[in-house]
Amino acid sequence: MNHGKNQTFLIRLRCACAGIGHGLRSEHSLRLQALALVAVLIALVILRPAPLWWALVILASSAVLGAELFNTSVERLADHLHPDAHPEIRVVKDCAAAAVLISSAGALGVALALIVALSRGSS
């Protein structure tokens, strides 16, 4: 597949889907987060909160999945370019992992806020 610039939308879409597929096949944490998203979407269908909550949950979930995919790409590139342990590579990988942690914490914050809103009947 040609990954060059200025490709058609369909080629770029195919490349993006290939990246998602690779991430799902190779990263346990991404698979868990994708399953969590499915569970959350099922919960949203059952609980029927206001559309704003759908938007917040989907936005937070996509941020987590996107951060995990960036983390995967950074780790793969770093391991390819510098397979031996190196303190600067460790910092890069740690920062990428921290991005996943922060986006996950934000998603949990949205989930807690939704739970509070639903318990008060103000969805």
pLDDT digits 0-9 by tens, 45-62: 999 999 999 999 999 999
Cβ(119)–Cβ(46) below 8 Å: no
- pLDDT of amino acid 121: 82
Taking alpha carbons only, the member of 39, 3, 37 closest to residue 18 is 3
**Domain residue ranges in the chain:** 9-119
Where residue 2 falls (left for φ over 0; alpha for ψ -120 to 50; beta otherwise) is beta
Q: Is the overall model pTM greater than 0.85, yes or no?
A: yes
Q: Does domain 9-119 have CATH number 1.10.287.3610?
A: yes
pLDDT digits 0-9 by tens, 24-33: 999 999 999 9
State the Cα–Cα distance between residues 73 and 69, nearest whole angstrom.
Answer: 6
